[in-house]
Amino acid sequence: MNAISYRLRGIRRYQKSLLLVAVITPLALGASWVCGIRWDYLWKGLGESAALLRLMTPEWDAFAEMLKPALDSVLIALVGTLLGTVLSIFFAFAAASNIAPKWLRNSVRFLLGLERALPEIVILLFLVAAFGLGPFAGVLSLTIGCIGMLGKLIADAIEELDPVSLESIEAIGATKIQLLVFGVIQQIMPSVISFALFRFELSIRLSVVLGAVGAGGIGLEMYRAFFLLDYRRATTALVVILAMVFITERLSEFLRKKIKAEGALK
């Protein structure tokens, strides 16, 4: 009896996990069947991938040619992030409950949510149809995506401000503009810079994806190389992209830590 009760206690201990597995397993198998997943294709693909990896050695002579496209991608991300951050501040004012009236806040929050529901690549396709291929459409796409993301984050930061400090600034006769500049912007500026740096990291990755579908830059170079089955050149582009993303992340992390340390000293 003791052994049986011990086993029952063990089953009861893991019954939630077992129930979760029992529910998820048939759902996953059913989804695999609906999507047409073939496990035999997986093993076949792994073998072919191993053969492909042997072909993907960098073409060292092409590194110099990749520098300008890589710089284009960085500049697209930088300009899109800067424009988006500046515009996000205005949208954030309109989306903050302690700054804007309720009807304006709800309307702007709805627009920001609608933008976040659209991936940047979808926005780019509309912009390419309107403005044509090139970096300009990529910059606009990243700018719009930045507004949707940072507009909400900055608005939340504004709503978390101490209302007493805002009331004290109003009490000394400050105008609405002075309240926004000295009471709001000065307090949220470290958060805005931190958000912008994080968004810049994301924009670097997105600029590669958007480049492959019409925005130019290093993403277009990698797409062309794969399309032409020039795997060595594609590997060179991939190495440059990895280096670009790694350097950007380290730089962004360093600046965010520095901003946070300066804020703590204050």
Token pair 């470290």 in the structure block, residue: 190
Whole-angstrom Cα distance, residue 7 to residue 193?
Answer: 56
Q: Which one has a higher pLDDT value, 4 or 219?
A: 219
* Percentage with pLDDT > 90 across the chain: 25
Q: What is the Cα 231 distance to its own chain's centre? A: 28
Token output for 161: 């401000």
Whether 230 shows a pLDDT value over 80: the answer reads yes
Condensed to tens digits (0 to 9), the pLDDT of residues 137-161 reads 889 999 999 999 999 999 999 888 8
Q: How confident is the model at residue 265 (pLDDT cuts 50, 70, 90)?
A: low
pLDDT band at 3 (very low <50, low <70, confident <90, very high): low
pLDDT band at 7 (very low <50, low <70, confident <90, very high): low
Task: List domains and CATH numbers for the chain.
Answer: 2-54 (no CATH), 62-265 (1.10.3720.10)
Range of 3-12, 105-114, 154-163 with top mean pLDDT:
105-114
pLDDT for res 4: 57
For residues 2-30, average pLDDT: 70
Position 173 scores a pLDDT of: 72
Cα–chain-centroid distance for residue 227? 26
Mean pLDDT in residue range 60-80: 90
